[in-house]
Amino acid sequence: MAGEPLEYLAGFGNEFHSEALPGALPQGQNNPKVCPYGLYAEQLSGTHFTAPRVANRRSWLYRIRPSVTHEPFHPAPFPNDNLTADFTAGHITPNQLRWRPFPVPTEPVDWVRGLFTLCGAGRAGAKDGIAVHVYACNRSMERSALANADGDMLLVPQQGALRLITEFGRLDVAPGEIAVVPRGVRFAVELRCGAARGYVLETFAGHFALPDLGPIGSNGLASPRDFLHPVAWYEDVEGVSYQVLHKLEGQLFVGSQSFSPFNVVAWHGNYVPYKYDLSRFCPVNSVAFDHPDPSIFTVLTVPPLAPGGPPVADFVIFPPRWLVAERTFRPPYYHRNTASEFMGLIRGQYEAKVDGGFLPGGASLHLCMTPHGPDTQTFERASGGSGADAPSHLGHETLAFMFETSAIPRVTPAALGCPNVDRDYYKCWVGLKSHFDPSRRDPLPAVPAGGKAAGAAAGGGKPGGGANGLGPTPALVDGEAKAAANGGVVANGAGVLG
Ligand SMILES: O=C(O)Cc1cc(O)ccc1O
Ligand SMILES: [Fe+2]
């Protein structure tokens, strides 16, 4: 890919400012009688004017012509019946749903035309709920830009790098990175290296925020300084026909104008698109035993509408990492959740599905209380074996994610009817057999007693115990060492419970 790397402004929720020409940003006031360079001042608000200061979002743009200079909008002439914000005709099902990878088109399709709504909840018109889309396209948007009046869009590229041209400047976003384009910001998607495919979480309510860290403390997970915002960039292109697309309650309207909408020479504010490299995420996890809830991997959240309520949506990743929990079934546990979970795979294999049916570019959906969990092979593999649990690495090539919502999304008829629906998904659990035998009581693995760490004693007091500090702790396989660690008593071992 040709071209210099783009410049960015780092932070999260900051008051940023940027100018592409020196002195283009008015100083000391937002709307002077005459702006520098003869620019027009225009405000873009992302919250109601009187929103509390901590939540208030708006930016000021200084542009060659104001956004209002366009022909009247009318319904877009090209069909994309697969893009919707109306879920009244959607289906609900207690069945587990899975899609094989969504096909990349062969006929020319740009990013907007390649959007395909899979499911959603609530109403864009009430600024409440979410939608989940996938996109698959093979053409850059040419002389057209989209403004989504329905909400913020979080883009998760899976294949093909994108360049987002926005009113605020440009963002290069490759698979493994994500981007957020807030409600109303005009943007165009260019393809940087051929066909592209990915996922979109659209929130009709609120904005994406960093999760609170609670007892984790002041560091960890996604760090504010890793969120990158564009610097001002403009093109002074006049006398062309530019199509501005406007999505309102899922409907696409188009208005023509004779100049590029990317004509912002300077801007300042805290309502700005951004990107984030998921490899910067610092996972925090169990270092002793048990499998924590996936909320530990929340990158971004759309906070509750009312204090104490559930988040509107969470964006969670399952990044490459070490698994070290002892005497623990390490893959995701079997579960039925009150939240609904949409999952996608950016690359590699997901830790709960080794059957080969959950593939990069595909997806799964488990609505409220739909049972799911590891497939048969994963269960057999992870619960088998005996003795110590050596630390294991998931592999650096794995990257799955989840859009989680407390609402119950409805699945669009198009998504349920598309040819890549995996009608055999349920079979990945069919082989889970009963291991129950009332006459058998397996020895339970060791639990250190009396607050004394068996592993530390057996490892000669060294943390980790194994030769490289990562290997199995002999105490957990060796009855004698266990006895020594527990003052001569084999607690919870085969001697007591077998
Ligand atoms: O695979 C899933 O369903 C997602 C998931 C992962 C996990 O580690 C725990 C719970 C959960 O829903
Ligand atoms: Fe789940």
- The model's pLDDT over 350-388, given as tens digits with 9 standing for 90+, comes to 999 998 999 999 999 999 999 999 999 999 999 987 666
Q: Which amino acid is at 322?
A: W
Do 352 and 465 sit in the same domain of this protein?
Answer: no
Output the CA–CA distances (angstroms, integers) from residue 77 to 53, 143, 254, 422, in the order listed.
Answer: 41, 16, 8, 33
Is residue 51 situated within a structural domain? no
Residue 469's domain spans which residues?
454-497
Q: Which of 315, 329, 330, 333 is the best mutation target for the ligand 1 pocket, counting ligand atoms within 8 Å of the beta carbon and taking the most? A: 333
- Tell me the CA–centroid distance for residue 333 and ligand 1, in Å: 7
> Using one digit for the tens of pLDDT, what is the confidence trace for 31-45?
999 999 999 999 999
Annotated binding residue 396: no
Residues 465 and 421 in one domain: no
Q: Are 132 and 409 in contact (CB under 8 A)?
A: yes
Q: Are residues 245 and 394 in the same domain?
A: yes
> What tens digit of pLDDT does each residue of 2-36 get?
588 999 999 999 999 999 999 999 999 999 999 99
Q: Is the CB of 389 under 6 A from ligand 1?
A: no
83 inside domain: yes
Q: Report the separation in Å between the CA atom of 104 and the middle of ligand 1, taken as the mean of its atom positions.
A: 28
207 is catalytic: no
Whether residues 107 and 255 fall in one domain: yes
pLDDT for the residue numbered 355: 86
Q: What is the pLDDT of residue 307?
A: 87
Distance CA 184, CA 430 (A): 46
In a domain, 323, yes or no: yes
Whether residue 352 has its Cβ less than 6 Å from ligand 1: yes
One domain, residues 244 and 100: yes
pLDDT attached to residue 480: 29
* Residue in the block written with tokens 């600024």: 127
Nearest CA to ligand 1 atom 3: 373
- Mean pLDDT score of the chain, rounded to an integer? 89
Average pLDDT estimate for 325-347: 97
Which ligand 1 atom sits nearest the alpha carbon of residue 297? 8
Pocket test for ligand 1, best of 296, 298, 317, 318 (most atoms within 8 A of CB): 318
The total number of residues shown for the chain amounts to: 498
Given a contact cutoff of 8 angstroms between Cβ atoms, the answer to whether 464 and 470 are in contact is yes
One domain, residues 405 and 338 = yes
Same domain, yes or no: 150 and 297: yes
Average of per-residue pLDDT across 195-219: 98
Q: Is residue 32 part of a domain?
A: no
Domain count, the chain: 2
Nearest residue by C-alpha to atom 7 in ligand 1: 332
Query: Is the pLDDT at 162 greater than 60, yes or no?
Result: yes
Question: Is 71 annotated among the ligand-binding residues?
Answer: no
Taking CA 136 as the corner, what is the angle to CA 134 and CA 139, rounded to the nearest 5 degrees? Answer: 140
In a domain, 140, yes or no: yes
- Would you say residue 176 lies in a domain? yes
Kindly state the percentage of the chain with pLDDT values over 90. 84
For ligand 1, atom 9, the nearest C-alpha belongs to 332
Atom nearest to 352 CA in ligand 1: 1
96 and 197 housed in the same domain: yes
Judge if 330 and 462 occupy the same domain.
no
Q: Find the angle CA(110)-CA(116)-CA(122) to the nearest 5 degrees.
A: 130
By most ligand atoms within 8 Å of CB, the mutation choice from 293, 297, 355 for ligand 1 is: 293
pLDDT score of 393 more than 80:
yes
pLDDT digit string, tens, across residues 442-478? 766 666 655 444 333 333 333 333 222 222 322 222 2
In a domain, 415, yes or no: yes
* Residue 440 within any structural domain of the chain: no
Backbone φ/ψ region at 488: left (φ over 0), alpha (ψ -120 to 50), beta: left
pLDDT value for 441 = 79
To the question of whether residue 37 is assigned a binding role by annotation, the answer is no
Residues 364 and 461 in one domain: no
Same domain? For 382 and 469 the reply is no
The response to whether 372 counts as a known ligand-binding position is: yes
Q: Are residues 395 and 474 in the same domain?
A: no
pLDDT tens-digit map of 58-92: 999 999 999 999 999 999 987 678 999 999 999 99
